[in-house]
Amino acid sequence: MKHILGIFILIVTLANAATADDLFFETEAAYQASQAERKKGVAAFREGDHQAALAHLEEALSHRPNHPLLVGYVAYLAAETGDTDKAWKAANQYAALGVAPGADIRLALRNALGEARGNELDRLFNANMAAAGSAQIKFMLPENHRLVEGIAQDAEGRFYFGTVVSGEVIRMDATGPKKIVDAKQHEFGSFFGMTFHDGSLYATFAHIEQTPGYTEGEGQTGIARIDPATGDIQDVWTLPGGTEDQQLADITITKDGSIFATDAKGGKVYQITGDTLFPLFAHDGFMSPQGIAETADGQLIMADYGRGLWHLDRKSGNVSLLGVPTDASLHGIDGLTRFGDTLIAIQNGVNPHRILALTITEDGRSVQNVVVKAQALPDFDEPTLGVSAADGFYFIASSQWPKFGAGGMVKEGTVVSPTAVMKLN
């Protein structure tokens, strides 16, 4: 879901745990300075002044040195302006991050650097995109269940799925998938994140561009509590103001029974408090909150599609970006789930799509280790969210988001296939 990155991003596998000297901590001052220079660079590019654009974007990159989007801009502009040494250096910096750039950047680099260096970059980038890891298909949901996003499992081991375009909650029974909730009957629009608590299924909902009949700003977004046996709606919490600049996305239940949901468009994290949704965390630096998971000490880690991972301190209300290894990027994470002693992150803002296992430091403030569990598998077609089950980690492997346009219409030239639900090996 949610394509806000200008290019696709990859992350490398780190063989060893990072030390303090290997970590990069992005400050708000650095982020703001980088964004300001990036804005100037984009403006200069649009005006045709590539030299000025390159200078501004180099300055932007100096504040966020492991941001692949900025590295890509510098590589491209250096190539376009004939600065081959700078283009070669930036391209190798890109490759060292595990990044595979888009065709336009690769073509510009090849044209500027020549055949020998172009072939070397192709070798590096193609290696970054190779299939790795393994997972097996556990379910295939028929194509009439369109744009499957969420997944949950009840205490009896049964799986539940939420869909965006067909707007339904599905329970996987012995005879196959059974629709238990129709969003249209409750004006929910589309379903997203899902989880269980005290025998009830909690699901976020919203009206978005891919929702059939969607009109911008209309509809509602919130959380529904559902009886998994009957599909009856037991409770509903909605945000005032409809879907104008807000959309609840993912949801988690902590060990103490607290329920949190992220607002992908509004840059907030809400907690269910009685009959209201309380904005426990709101920060100007949040770009697109997505998956959310609990730390070992009861705090929260939130994936921000545009910035990486945030530590959310429930006691103080403070937020801070996690330190990340200097040769890694954690942008483009959609799903985030605790699985044993690690966090499983689903990166669908990357090429290829991948599933990562992240080890977090004891204080919850840094990513100590990153391991690619699966990437570029044949059945991947924009994986979204996952669930930690007793026998392993299950996830939606082929949501097929890019195939659906406004109103949930299938885009011309594409064919919707059954949705693969996979389990990591």
| pLDDT tens per residue, range 177-216 | 999 999 999 999 999 999 999 999 999 999 999 999 999 8
pLDDT digits (tens, 9 = 90+) for 229-259: 999 999 999 999 989 899 999 999 999 999 9
Domain boundaries, the chain: 20-128, 133-424
Question: H helices of 47-96, where?
Answer: 50-63, 68-80, 84-96
**pLDDT attached to residue 6:** 38
Could you tell me the pLDDT band of residue 13, with boundaries at 50, 70 and 90? very low
- Please state, in angstroms and rounded to a whole number, the distance separating the CA atoms of residues 279 and 285: 15
User: Cβ(264)–Cβ(3) under 8 Å?
Assistant: no
Nearest partner of 9 among 180, 187, 129, judged by Cα: 129
Q: Which CATH superfamily is domain 20-128 in?
A: Tetratricopeptide repeat domain (1.25.40.10)
In the predicted structure, residue 365 carries a pLDDT above the cut 50 = yes
Which CATH superfamily does the domain covering 133-424 fall into?
Answer: YVTN repeat-like/Quinoprotein amine dehydrogenase (2.130.10.10)
Q: Are strands 386-389 and 367-375 parallel, antiparallel or unpaired?
A: unpaired
Beta strands in 283-403 (DSSP E): 289-294, 300-304, 308-312, 319-321, 324-325, 333-339, 342-347, 354-360, 367-375, 386-389, 392-396
